């Protein structure tokens, strides 16, 4: 089973005995903070849980799976995690 945002909201609501709307606000706020930090290039370390970061991927060769034709994939930034902490 994967942990969805809805599961997380339900768990916060149940364990903290908050109304679901308040739990939704808490979870959404936390995720927004993490998102903004990553967008600005900062790493996010949650002690005892893990580290979230953004990696720059270089332009590279790729292949279109439908047509099998070669193509160039542009450089991009992707989120990563390091749970070894």
Task: Give the SS3 label for residue 6.
Answer: helix
Which two structure tokens, joined as six digits, stand for 71? 């193509």
The one-digit pLDDT tens for each residue of the chain (85 residues) are 689 999 999 999 999 999 999 999 999 999 999 999 999 989 999 999 899 999 999 999 999 999 999 999 999 998 888 755 4
Task: Say what the pTM is.
Answer: 0.72
Specify whether 32 is located in the same domain as 64.
no
Domain span holding position 17 = 1-41
Judgement on whether residues 22 and 54 belong to the same structural domain of the protein: no
Query: What pLDDT was estimated at residue 1?
Result: 67
Confidence at residue 85, expressed as pLDDT on a 0 to 100 scale: 44
68: domain CATH number is: 4.10.520.10
Predicted local confidence at residue 83, as pLDDT: 56
Q: Tell me, yes or no, whether 6 and 30 share the same domain.
A: yes
The helix, strand and coil proportions of the chain, stated in percent and rounded to the nearest 5, come to 40, 30, 30
């Amino acid at each position: 089973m994967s942990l969805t945002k809805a599961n997380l909201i339900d768990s916060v609501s149940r364990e903290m005995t908050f109304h679901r709307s308040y739990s939704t606000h808490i979870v959404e706020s936390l995720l927004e903070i993490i998102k903004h930090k990553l967008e600005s290039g900062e790493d996010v370390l949650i002690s005892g849980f893990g580290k979230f970061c953004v990696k720059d991927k270089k332009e590279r060769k790729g292949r279109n799976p439908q047509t099998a034709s070669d193509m160039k994939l542009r450089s991009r930034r992707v989120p990563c995690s390091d749970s070894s902490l």
